[in-house]
Structure 1
Amino acid sequence: MPVVISLQGAVPADVAVGLSPLAELMACLHSIAEPEHHLAVRQWLERVRAELSTESQSLIAVYSPLWTRMRCRLLMPLEPPLGLTLEQELARLEALSLDDFVMGAAPSVHGGVFDTHGLLTDRAVREAYILSSERRSFSRGELARSLFQAPERTRSGLLELLRRCAAEFFDAEWARVRHRLENECTRVRARVQALPLPEALASLSPNATVGHNPPSVAYDKLQSLRADLRGRRCLLVPSAHTRPHLIVRDDPPYPLVVHFPVENTGRQSEQATLAQVRLRLSILSDPARLSLCRHLVNEPITTSDLAARTGMTLPQVSRHLGRLREAGLLTSRRDGRQIHHRLDTDCLMRLGVDVLTSIIR
């Protein structure tokens, strides 16, 4: 179920690349609410969760539907320009009409499929929406009821929470990651100007594919969405905390947003594609290769030694080593006339995370 963005008629001027501290704060709140999805920042999460005030923890639980399953479009840039401060973005949110706030928050509060047409004008639709939200979870039902019965208070509570989070942990974290995200913006802007738009947008994810007729980009997501960029703006916003998720939100009249992850380290490291994960799991499922891995993990070893230990022929061992090398699981080093092989344990250790990432991205 891919997310497909049609780029027929779109031009580089339609695409803006920049920072959004509010979107980054939402990514942080998502990882706090669902830490099992974010193993790479586990230590940071444990520290932040331990230091959060009791009141902030309580408010995060109340408003969590806005950033768990479906990220709230209102907590992303509402329009260009990008690069505002957090307080400037909060001022935009505060300046929305209550009707716009309610309709912008309603899809995320529900978190599932519900036709929101008529929510503001039809009491029966509104009651059905609240009931449907309650069936999804108690917290969603409570927030849905509050959204319609006391929208101003609901928005004020959300703004209070976001400002509390800024003071308690986010201001320091934003200062830490901002420079890295600015560098990523520079790289992505250069690609948008130098490459065809489908290729530039595909570069945001290792699991993106480019279409040519019509020009498009497809992201491998557990989401079905088709968006047309013709005559619209597209905002590309990097994040240090949204990994492994790439988020695409298409909520007219707001611009389409792609909130994409960057590496958590200054050095780019390999992120396994879905095809690589499948290949590695398939190769490791073979009993003979798994037997070889038990020898390869302990010490560097030659092909002939492996054959002697396992009872396989040299050609058999060579074929299995070739498959392990093809999957990036084997390292080989020449020592004189001998070539010693060893299992790449770092790659193997990442495989579990790669499997999880491939499932939930």
Structure 2
Amino acid sequence: MSVSIDITGLLPERIHVVPSPLAELGMALHALAEPGHHPGLQGWATAVSARMDPCLADRMCDADFLWRTTFSDVFAPFAGIPGKQALPGATLAEELDLLDKLTDEQFVDAALEFTCQSSYAEPNRSILGTPEVQQRALELAAARGPHQVRFTKRLLDDPSAVRAWFRQLVEDCDEAFFADTWERLQHQLAADARHKTDLLRRKGLAEALKAVSGAASLDEEARLITFDKITEGRTVTGDGSLVLVPTSLGWPHLMVLHRYGWQPAITYPISGPGLTAPPSVEQLTRRMSALAHPARMRLCRHLARGAYTTGELADAHGLTAPEVSRHLGVLKKAGLVTTRRRGRYVQHQLDIGVVSRLGSDFIEGVLR
């Protein structure tokens, strides 16, 4: 399992390492929504949440599925600009202007990533112009809850209004807490970008990728970058660019944007705080045995990002519902998965607290 980028024909001068304030804001929102993913940021998250205006907190909840269970590509609008050579803006305002340049179709497609499905590999998919695709999006949202259904309907009925609402939300988050955070982090990110750029120039892409992540490798002969991740995907740079975006708040997430028709981009963490001590031998044996099956590892990747129904997981992984149920039973018996009922839906989620005690290698793998 891996995500790969075909860089055939990619010129060295079209490889860029650039910080992105909008991407980092997306990471900040995710860390606030899922503090269990980011044990090193719990103090920061607690402080920000304590002084958060309740009205802003409620508005953030209206769209938290854009950053809680996935990293929506609305936070990387530069990648969707025609020509595949745009770069992140130097300021949040510049990046929001790039977001405004995306078509309604692009924005809606990227915003609907909160479902269990990915449209990355679907060329010429038209959401706004195809009733069947819209109905499928609403069906998937229904399993996520009424909150997501309302948002999906708003998005499909009036994407321009939702785009304006989202931009205002981002600007208000910036004023409330992110501007101070960005002021503190931007110098660190810029320094890392300069270091990686220097590696690119002096030692080449292979060495720069090695410094980015141990999960990245370059096949010089095949002109292929491969990322060792518990998911599959493939994209090409073509005659466009490759953009590497450093993040300080994003550990342990290593993200490869491989949406069809968009510019490839890699968002990588520049630091990795430690986790708690490993579990007992008895716990480790029982839990690692449960995780030994590759299908359960793939399920864990979804379940680490949010709660999903058996049907959603079956659709996403090409399995039958009974097969998914059997795998979930093994994970639950090992104490790795929790279950909750929401109306007529039963949702399952990985217990990040328990999994983190297996050690950083596993937690980085499922969250990468």
Change over 3 Å in CA distance of 1:167–1:81 after alignment to 2: same
Render the CA deviation track for 1:122-160: whole Å, top value 9, x for unaligned. Answer: 212211221122224433322211111121221122112
Instruction: Decide whether aligned partners of structure 1 residues 134 and 186 sit closer, same or farther in structure 2, where only a CA change above 3 A counts.
Output: same
Give the TM-score taking structure 2 as reference length: 0.70
59-68 or 16-25, which deviates more: 59-68
Task: Name which of 328, 348, 352 aligns with 2:359.
Answer: 352
1:196-233 per-position Cα deviation (integer Å, ceiling 9, x unaligned): 32442232112223334413222222221112223221
Tell me how large the CA RMSD over aligned residues is: 2.8
Residues 89 and 95 in structure 2, CA contact (< 8 A), matched pair in contact too: no
- Work out whether residues 236 and 264 of structure 2, in 8 Å CA contact, stay in contact via their aligned partners in 1: no
Partner of 1:28: 28
Sort the Cα spacing of 1:187 and 1:48 in 2 relative to 1 into closer, same or farther, 3 A: same
How big is the shift at 1:26? 0.4
* d(CA) in 1 for partners of 2:362, 2:132: 44
Looking at structure 1, the residues matched to 197 and 263 of structure 2 have their Cα atoms a distance apart, in angstroms, of 18
Alignment check: 8 A CA contact 1:24 1:241 kept: yes
Which 10-residue stretch deviates more, 69-78 or 178-187? Answer: 69-78
In structure 2, the CA distance between the partners of 1:70 and 1:179, relative to structure 1 (3 Å rule), is same
Amino acid aligned to 1:65: F
Aligned partner (choices 96, 104, 108) of residue 102 of structure 2: 96
**Aligned counterpart, 1:84:** 90
Is the CA contact (8 Å cut-off) linking 2:69 and 2:114 kept in structure 1? no
* Closer/same/farther in 2, CA of residues 48 and 270 from structure 1, 3 Å limit: closer
Q: Distance in 2 between matches of 1:43 and 1:172?
A: 15
Q: Do the aligned partners of residues 33 and 239 (structure 1) sit closer, same or farther apart at CA in structure 2, a change above 3 Å counting?
A: same
The 5 A counterparts of 1:127-138 are 127-138=135-146
8 Å Cα contact 1:202-1:218 kept in structure 2: no
Cα gap change, 1:224 to 1:20, in 2 (>3 Å): same
Pair member with larger Rg: 1
Q: CA deviation at 1:350?
A: 9.4
- Residues 149-228 of structure 1: matches in 2 within 5 Å? 149-228=157-236
The residue aligned with 1:44 is 44
Gap regions ≥5 residues in structure 2: 80-85, 286-355
Q: How far apart, CA to CA, are the structure 2 residues paired with 1:212 and 1:99?
A: 36
Q: Label 1:100 to 1:360 Cα distance change in 2 as closer, same or farther (>3 A).
A: closer
Structure 2 residue aligned with 1:61: 61
CA, structure 1 residues 113+31, in 2 after alignment: closer, same or farther (shift >3 Å)? same
Unaligned runs of 5+ in 1: 272-276, 286-348
Query: 1:270 Cα shift?
Result: 9.1
Aligned to 1:110: 115
Q: CA deviation at 1:9?
A: 2.7
Cα distance in 2 for partners of 1:359, 1:125 equals 29
- In 2, Cα distance between equivalents of 1:81 and 1:9: 19
Percent of aligned pairs sharing the same letter: 25
How many corresponding residue pairs? 285
Q: 1:152, 1:254 → 2: CA distance?
A: 21
Deviations 1:156-200 (A, max 9, x none): 221121111101110000000111001001011111222332442
The one-letter amino acid of 2:93's match is: E
